Structure 1
Amino acid sequence: MARWEPGAPERLQKAALELFATRGYEQTTATEIAQSVGLTERTFFRHFSDKREVLFHGQDAFVQAFLTGVDTAPPDASPIEIVACALRSAAGLFPDERRSHSRTRQSVIEQNPALREREAHKLAGLATTVADALRARGVGEVAATLAAESGTTVFGIAFAQWIREGERRSLADLSAEVLGELLTLTRKVTVPRTIG
């Protein structure tokens, strides 16, 4: 009988990412992941429902970071200012020392259509959750949806820049820059009114 090993989920995640990156996601089994760190397949499935979940473990903390930002925004903040607070809060989950890990993880996801779909679903779910939190603060239906969807898009663009080779800026700085670009674009928009 295998004895309890501290830090098993983290060890399994690290091993899985290394194997996915070197051998390919489809070519790597849960058993191989577990065996590579001296654990059993049973231990693997005690922590993760399948090998895909190794890449998406931590989703709750990711969503909570956005919600914490929404909750701690000043009471008189505009919807987009609340989103800016949420982006700053989420960026705290991605310190510079995590950049290499995030880069490798994203590379694995990009090579597999099912994983790309799961990642897109994760971001869509995040936008829905943030929009609900904005509505709970009294933001109107359309404004909450627009702000949340915009915030999710900003995060995605900033994250893609953050993991690029050679990038040195923090995710918080990149998020603020991308959000600033969005605000600049929307300031220049004049919506023509229809006549009739």
Structure 2
Amino acid sequence: MGRWEPNARERLETAALELYSDRGYEQTTVAEIATCAGLTERTFFRHYADKREVLFANSGEFQELFVRAVAEALTSAAPIDALAAGLDAISEMLAGQRDFVRARQAVIMANPELQERDLIKTAAISAALADTLRRHGITEPAASLAAEAGIAVFKVGFQRWIVADEDHDLSRVMRESLDELKAVTAGGQDAT
């Protein structure tokens, strides 16, 4: 095995997800992930701190994209519309990855430790969104409420997207979920 293998991160992520799906997260070791990817354990640890992080490798990029899209939209849009722009941006990021995301989510939902890590990452995104809203003049509690609402819309839309039998556009599902929230907060029961 060469020291600088091409696509090491992608190979490790793919191998980990395969093994976690087939054998379970707890039963899979870093050594097995590295071997399955055709790499060494040392290479694994160059890219990831532990075997949990291989499933959350893109969460920093995800958060940065979401927050940046919201911040850019806040220059000309209301907070809820800025959050919609953020949801559109992350929907684009996930486009074409539905099968991978679906398998990843199944692994996370089967393990309390991974569920906890997922909740921590989601809380960090919410905090970053609230901070961005505050920096753009949105006061409390509106900034925190809007950020949490954006996360709630993401969670509901994401869940609808991964369990649907048909392959729907994630952006459309997110917009529909946001419309449902707007309808409920306006006093209606649903957007239909």
State the TM bucket, normalised to the shorter chain.
over 0.9
Answer yes or no: is 1:22 the counterpart of 2:14: no
Contact 1:55 1:105 in 2 (8 A): yes
- Mean CA deviation greater in 164-173 or 134-143: 164-173
Could you tell me the percent identity over the aligned residues? Answer: 47
How far residue 74 of structure 1 moved from its aligned partner, in angstroms, is 5.1
- Mean CA deviation greater in 75-84 or 175-184: 75-84
Q: Aligned residue for 1:115?
A: 114
Q: Aligned residue for 2:11?
A: 11
How far residue 41 of structure 1 moved from its aligned partner, in angstroms, is 0.9
Q: Aligned residue for 1:194?
A: none
Q: Aligned residue for 1:49?
A: 49
What is the CA deviation profile of residues 57-109 of structure 1, one whole-angstrom value per residue up to 9, with x for unaligned ones? 011110011112112215242111111111111111111x2000000000000
Identify unmatched segments of 5+ residues in structure 2: none
Contact 2:126 2:148 in 1 (8 A): yes
Which amino acid is 1:41 matched to? E
Contact 2:84 2:175 in 1 (8 A): yes
What is the CA deviation profile of residues 112-154 of structure 1, one whole-angstrom value per residue up to 9, with x for unaligned ones? 0010111111111111100000111111121111110000010
Contact 2:73 2:82 in 1 (8 A): yes
Contact 1:161 1:167 in 2 (8 A): no
Cα RMSD after superposing both structures = 1.3
In the TM superposition, 1:1-196 aligns within 5 A as: 2-73=2-73, 75-95=75-95, 97-188=96-187
Deviating 4+ runs (over 3 angstroms) = none
Contact 1:79 1:143 in 2 (8 A): no
Q: TM-score, normalised by structure 1?
A: 0.92
Partner Cα separation in structure 2 for residue 15 and residue 68 of structure 1 = 31
Contact 2:74 2:136 in 1 (8 A): no
SS in 2 for 1:134: helix
Q: TM-score, normalised by structure 2?
A: 0.94
